[in-house]
Amino acid sequence: LPAAYDPFEQAVRAVVGQQVTVKAAVTITRRLVERLGEPLQDALPGLEMLFPTAQAIADDPLDNIGMPSKRAQALRRLAAAVAEGALQLHVEDGADALVQRLCELPGIGPWTAEYIALRGFGVADAFPAADLGLLKAPMWGADGISAKALARRAEAWRPWRAYAAIHIWDNYSKAAKGG
């Protein structure tokens, strides 16, 4: 399962992406990078900025970039914990331990933590059961499926639930595009 080059960047993207469309999350992330990222010298077009450091995000009020204040607070707490070394983003002691550490931070729940494990570290069994795309995929019919019912169903897919999530997201995406 492909993982992000920088787990911290993926964690930031997961928090920014809470309860918004992918398009909105991309816009907010772009604003964050434009505001706090460091410019790259002799950069290729489209690759002009480095992603902001944890300290830069922790120190900024994150106002006027399009995020609700509670989400901005959650992002700043995450960044501060990483910058201070209080939160280590790794899976050496298991993905469940990472998910637990992340969920201890206010504003980060199971969806965000599981998404970080899946996208940030390529954990094959990570499964963000409350993800809207997973719940509303056409394969579940017009009414979709509840997070609780999906989590129960996903137990049969262990230890490969992340692959199932990617398949379901693909089903959702193709339907959204009319295919």
Instruction: Look up 59 and say whether it is catalytic.
Output: no
CA atoms within 13 A on the CB side of 153: 15
How far apart CA 75 and CA 16 sit, in angstroms, is 8
Q: Which phi and psi angles does 49 have, rounded to 5°?
A: -130, 145
Instruction: Supply the DSSP string of 66-82, one letter for each residue.
Output: S--HHHHHHHHHHHHHH
How far apart CA 54 and CA 96 sit, in angstroms, is 23
Cα(first)–Cα(last) distance of the chain, in Å? 25
Residue in 63, 131, 143, 170 annotated catalytic: 131
* Residues acting as catalytic residues: 131
